[in-house]
Amino acid sequence: MINVGIIGFGTVGTGTASILLNNRDILRERTGIDINLRRIADLDIKRDRGIKLPKGILTAKTEELLDDPDIHIVVELIGGTTVAKDVILKAISKGKHVVTANKALLATHGAEIFRAAGKQKVELGFEASVAGGIPIVKVIREGLVANRIRAVYGIINGTTNYILTKMTEEKAEFSEVLKEAQKLGYAEADPTYDIEGIDSAHKLAILASLSYGPRFSIKDVYREGISWISPMDIEFARELGYKLKLLAIAKESDGKVELRVHPTMVPEEYLISKVDGVYNAVYVEGDAVGSTLYYGRGAGDMPTGSAVVSDIADIARNIVTNSVGRISLDPSRKGKSLMKMDDVQSMYYFRFSAIDKPGVLSKISGILGKYNISIVSVIQKGRHEGKAVPLVVLTHRAKEKNVLAALKEINRLSIVAGKSVFIRVEGKEGDR
Ligand code: HSE
């Protein structure tokens, strides 16, 4: 029998406990191991979580769990980067295997935690830290181990995907939809982590570490959120044949790795464009396998619990077959280096607020030309001689550094009213 202790009895803790209790038989059948939920620790042991626990397993003291020599696997579901870090390092130092869903912690202190686990020769499972129920960690580490990963990108935050989907369907403003999402429980009271792309950036740092090594951290990820997106840009994107998504992108180009999270226009015929609402999807391109796509729920008690329990089952199998450490967690392996955001190349969508009079377009296109930015198409909306109208420009691939310099110059023109908007565009050149 393998004994499990859960620390943190919140949403994911409850889902994990209920799967361990209700699916104990199926887990036993599949793994040949009896996986027993022995202890759950949480500061709040009073609140009814709607789940019937065996008597006496709930405790308010984490030590009761960490000091129990019969517990093999400790599941950290507290979240955050302080107490959770202490708990994990303590569990590791006591020789316990650890499972965590904590992306913020791994994206911030991953190297230290993986090193500690390696030293103690214990397992560290983190399937639930990225894209909830989608087994993407296993895909990259095992299923696609034969491949050089060309690109990993996806929609890995359900909250922002829900908001962008609603803004698209209802042509609604960001702030309105955010309020509705908060009412429905899809967004937190303080939505900063989600809407500013921080949650996606945490998850991307983990995916990139798996795909490209060494351990990338949140600091390596360029990040923009979605709070500034206007329904007008979503509508122009639609007219041009694109959907607007918050993409987390890790890509190898010129031997370096680009890591970025930002609103992105994706060709509407791409499968990932059809991933709506709170759903997540991750695209992985390998040199041998080609394009692959994984879709599912990225959050919630049961989907995330499903990922946590899959790690528990893997570790239990490794314990009983004496193959702990089967998959290396070495954080010091030499990996690819990071590409500076300035050097990243992308296609771009620009929306200028330009005065409607002769010669304006040539002035703008002159500056773009000077910076080697080539135009694919232009749309001008409305006709208001002498007044500002939206002027939309789509470009071929250009360098970020050149785009920023060109926009600075364009924003200074007297014929441009207000700051110009730019959104990066994904898709292969020539795809449309
Ligand atoms: N708010 C996050 C999401 C939770 O929607 O994806 C899971 O990380």
Gap from CA of 420 to ligand 1 centroid (Å)? 30
| Predicted model pTM | 0.96
Per-10-residue mean pLDDT of the chain, 432 residues long, equals 98 98 98 98 95 95 97 97 97 98 96 94 97 96 96 97 98 97 94 98 96 90 98 96 98 94 97 97 98 97 98 98 87 84 97 91 96 94 82 96 98 92 88 59
Number of CB atoms found within 10 A of residue 185's CB:
7
Binding residues for L-homoserine: 188
In the prediction, which pLDDT does 186 show?
93
- Which residue, 430, 224, 237, is CA-closest to 349? 237
Query: Which is the closest atom of ligand 1 to the Cα of 157?
Result: 6
- CA-proximal residue: ligand 1, atom 1 (nearest): 159
Query: Which is the closest atom of ligand 1 to the Cα of 280?
Result: 6
Burial-class residue 303 by CB neighbours within 10 Å (0-12, 13-18, 19+).
buried
- List, chain by chain if needed, residues with CB within 6 Å of any ligand 1 atom: 157-159, 194, 199, 298-299
Binding residues for NADP(+): 7-14
Binding residues: 7-14, 103, 188
Judged by DSSP in three states, 25 sits in helix
Go through 138-154 and write b for each residue having 16 or more CB atoms within 10 A of its CB, e for each that does not. Answer: bbbeebbeebebbbbbb
E strand or H helix at 210, and its extent?
helix 198-212
Provide the CATH topology of domain 2-133+301-320.
Rossmann fold (3.40.50)
In the prediction, which pLDDT does 214 show?
75
In the prediction, which pLDDT does 331 show?
65
In the prediction, which pLDDT does 431 show?
61
Pick the CATH number of 136-297 from 1.10.3720.10, 3.40.190.10, 3.30.360.10, 3.40.50.620: 3.30.360.10
Query: Which is the closest atom of ligand 1 to the Cα of 162?
Result: 5
Residues marked active site are found at: 203
In the prediction, which pLDDT does 277 show?
97
User: Which residue type, as a one-letter code, is found at position 15?
Assistant: G
Per-residue DSSP letter, 396: S
- Distance of alpha carbon 143 from alpha carbon 131, whole angstroms: 17
Q: Are 77 and 99 in contact (CB under 8 A)?
A: no
- Distance of alpha carbon 380 from alpha carbon 350, whole angstroms: 12
Gap from CA of 270 to ligand 1 centroid (Å)? 23
Ligand 1 pocket test, pick from 106, 130, 159, 162 with the greatest ligand atom count within 8 Å of Cβ, gives: 159
- Distance of alpha carbon 173 from alpha carbon 3, whole angstroms: 49
List every span in the chain annotated with CATH 3.30.70.260: 341-426
- CA-proximal residue: ligand 1, atom 6 (nearest): 157
List every span in the chain annotated with CATH 3.30.360.10: 136-297
Q: Are 355 and 413 in contact (CB under 8 A)?
A: no
Gap from CA of 119 to ligand 1 centroid (Å)? 31
CATH of domain 341-426: 3.30.70.260
